[in-house]
Chains A and B, each alone.
Chain A
């Protein structure tokens, strides 16, 4: 079955870096985009951006430029999120989510499914 499996929880000090992995299985990795979504403690979902798994071209949402980097290793069907110069406010659960789209007439229907199980990143001194 289609599945996204993320790496485990991380505890980092302010100023450090972290790299989260998201391994896909059950489908052709390069066929669909990979999206990243952040959920701060007790908060809602915030889209961080996406990466074209065919070209490797990343697109970052407002507020996620500079310290955030999306990358791929297509040989192992894995997407990565790296965050540098970590701050306390980066403490959150980070999800990867496959992006799907189909054209219905002139309308592009899009959705995110499935999602990885999430990776908790805690930034604390």
Chain B
């Protein structure tokens, strides 16, 4: 049981816009910033979004993040087959004094 809640799966057709949600509580998302990672099969997680909506160098602007209260979301526009991956949200939890992750969302491009 993950501390942050994500839908286990999401899907879309090429060119569509999809969003992945991440729900937490006042001790994590409610009081700290949210990061998003993606993970291709058999590879390490890679940072996509940090500080709720900031993209590291090299991450295209078709990916965007947002946060409101104790929830956050990742949006991917212009969906492409290369976006098929597992996506994880993460936030620092002040009560646990550590990182907490969502359970991951498997994105399928139909």
Residues of A within 8 A of B (CB): 35, 37, 44-47, 49-50, 59, 61-62, 95, 97, 104, 107-118
Contacts and interface: CB of A to CB of B under 8 A. Distances in A.
21 contacts: A37-B45, A37-B99, A44-B104, A47-B98, A47-B101, A50-B98, A61-B96, A61-B98, A95-B44, A107-B33, A109-B33, A109-B50, A110-B92, A111-B33, A111-B47, A113-B47, A113-B56, A114-B47, A115-B46, A116-B44, A117-B43
B37 to A, nearest CB: 8
Residue from the set A45, A59, A61, A108 with the largest chain B CB neighbour count within 10 Å: A45
B88 A44 contact: yes
Given A44-B104, A45-B104, A47-B101, A110 B88 contact: no
Contact of B50 (A47, A95, A113, A117): A113
Contacts of B92: 110
